[in-house]
């Protein structure tokens, strides 16, 4: 196991550079706005500008894997280089890959994103629990071994997710791995069952398992027993404000990681403008959650 747990590494990064997580999302519209071609070369220039602007000023960056994957092997090569450079500089990388599968396939995904010496090795990765929370066990084991983290989708920021994530289940309908003190007659939402499973998983005190909980609306979750990290997308362009963060997560602030992407990235391609925008949002978040 790594000398430091994911929770310890995350607390150290937050203490040094605040809790803001900035996306590296080379969306086609942003490439055009920055005057870059919609090619792997354009994505590489985009990523290089982001790295120069953000490394050393924010605690975490979150590359959206899909925008690199769209350019095939060349795009993945850009992503590999970006992750390597950022991590070498001491900034934490959350790969927004949303992987989720079962058995040997999940083990392979885990090795790709959380392995010790793999080209895509990141500090944390987003994962989907909708094949059952227990199916994530290979990722949990590898992340724990290497002092890395997972962010499990619980209550996402998109409105389409509400019907599924808010659906109610009886305790008896849930797999044992998804239960934490829910009796057979109790009703719990799908999203709450994920929170409860994460609480159970984190009883070792390492905070390996984090949650993705959107900042754009009241989540309706009981987070009172959850002390791990929460990645909160939606700040800025999706409509969430720092005041919303303070209200929605009023009892879950220690490892809260607000995520912003377009609201900062629209200031590119100027490195100085990007850096200033990230610093401004970072400081607003720290002041608003103090």
pLDDT greater than 70 at residue 131? yes
DSSP string over 94-115 = EEEEEE---HHHHHHHHHHHH-
Residue from 11, 87, 98, 266 carrying the catalytic annotation? 98
Q: How many CB atoms lie within 10 A of CB 249?
A: 18
* Residues 143 and 149 sit within 8 Å (Cβ to Cβ): yes
* Residues 38 and 32 sit within 8 Å (Cβ to Cβ): yes
Short-list 137, 81, 78, CA closest to 110: 137
* pLDDT tens-place string over residues 52-84: 999 999 999 999 999 999 999 999 999 999 999
pTM for the whole thing?
0.93
Report strand pairing: 187-189 vs 168-170: antiparallel
* pLDDT tens-place string over residues 269-286: 999 999 999 999 999 999
pLDDT given at position 174 = 52
pLDDT greater than 90 at residue 142? yes
For residues 289 and 210, what is the distance between their CA atoms, to the nearest angstrom?
19
CA–CA distances in Å: residue 125 to residues 44, 76, 171, 211: 21, 16, 29, 11
For residues 258 and 252, what is the distance between their CA atoms, to the nearest angstrom?
12
pLDDT greater than 50 at residue 264? yes
What's the chain's average pLDDT?
92
CA–CA distances in Å: residue 258 to residues 22, 111, 120, 140, 152: 8, 27, 23, 23, 15
Angle at 264 between CA 88 and CA 128, to 5 degrees: 65
* Active site (annotated) includes residue 62: no
* pLDDT tens-place string over residues 174-227: 554 444 444 455 688 999 999 999 999 999 999 999 999 998 777 889 999 999
H or E element at residue 51: helix 40-54
pLDDT given at position 2 = 45
Domains of the chain: 6-288 (3.20.20.70)
For residues 86 and 101, what is the distance between their CA atoms, to the nearest angstrom?
28
């Amino acid at each position: 196991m790594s000398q430091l747990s994911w929770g310890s590494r995350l607390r150290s990064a937050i203490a040094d550079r605040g809790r803001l997580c900035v996306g590296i999302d080379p969306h086609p519209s942003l490439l055009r706005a920055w005057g870059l071609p919609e090619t792997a070369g354009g994505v590489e220039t985009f990523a290089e500008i982001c790295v120069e602007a953000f490394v050393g000023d924010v605690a975490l960056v979150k590359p959206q894997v899909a925008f690199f994957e769209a350019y095939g092997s060349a795009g993945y090569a850009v992503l590999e280089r970006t992750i390597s450079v950022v991590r070498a500089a001491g900034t934490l990388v959350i790969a927004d890959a949303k992987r989720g599968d079962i058995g040997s396939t999940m083990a392979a995904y885990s090795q790709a994103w959380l392995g010790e010496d793999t080209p895509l090795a990141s500090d944390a990765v987003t994962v989907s629990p909708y094949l059952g929370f227990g199916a994530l066990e290979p990722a949990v084991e590898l992340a724990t071994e290497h002092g890395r983290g997972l962010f499990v989708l619980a209550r996402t920021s998109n409105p389409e997710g509400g019907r599924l994530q808010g659906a109610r289940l009886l305790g008896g309908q849930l797999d044992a791995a998804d239960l934490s003190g829910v009796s057979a007659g109790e009703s719990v939402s799908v999203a709450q069952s994920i929170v409860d499973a994460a609480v159970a998983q984190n009883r070792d005190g390492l905070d390996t398992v984090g949650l993705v909980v959107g900042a754009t609306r009241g989540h309706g979750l009981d987070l009172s027993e959850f002390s791990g990290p929460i990645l909160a997308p939606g700040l800025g362009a999706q409509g969430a404000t720092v005041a919303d963060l303070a209200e929605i997560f009023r009892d879950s602030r220690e490892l809260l990681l607000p995520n912003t992407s377009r609201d900062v990235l629209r200031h590119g391609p100027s490195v100085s403008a990007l850096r200033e925008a990230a610093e401004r949002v970072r400081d607003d978040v720290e002041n608003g959650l103090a």
